[in-house]
């Protein structure tokens, strides 16, 4: 998955639950700047730990977060 697609997916999920980047960063316990860079596509390979925290904050699986189809 490209970093652009991941960023779009995060933005889409944020829209569904109507929370800001700042709120998501706090909920996921990651730096705000990290989230902004991922959403903007500037971080092409976020760490697994970061992906897990974001997925947990959304209450989705990592597969759902990255758009992986089985």
Given this model, what pLDDT does residue 1 score? 61
Given this model, what pLDDT does residue 2 score? 67
3-65: CATH number: 1.10.260.40
Question: Which is more confident, 3 or 25?
Answer: 25
Task: Burial-class residue 3 by CB neighbours within 10 Å (0-12, 13-18, 19+).
Answer: middle
pTM comes to 0.91
CA dihedral over 49, 53, 54, 55, signed as positive or negative: positive
Please provide the DSSP assignment of the chain as one string.
--HHHHHHHHHHHHHHHT--HHHHHHHHTS-HHHHHHHHHT--SS--HHHHHHHHHHHT--HHHHHT---
Given this model, what pLDDT does residue 69 score? 79
Whether 4 shows a pLDDT value over 80: the answer reads: no
């Amino acid at each position: 998955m490209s970093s652009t697609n991941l960023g779009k997916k995060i933005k889409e999920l944020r829209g569904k639950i109507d929370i800001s980047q700042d709120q998501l960063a706090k909920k996921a316990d990651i730096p705000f700047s990290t989230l902004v860079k991922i959403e903007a596509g500037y971080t092409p390979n976020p760490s697994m730990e970061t992906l897990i925290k974001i997925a947990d904050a959304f209450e989705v699986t990592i597969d759902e977060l990255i758009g992986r189809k089985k």
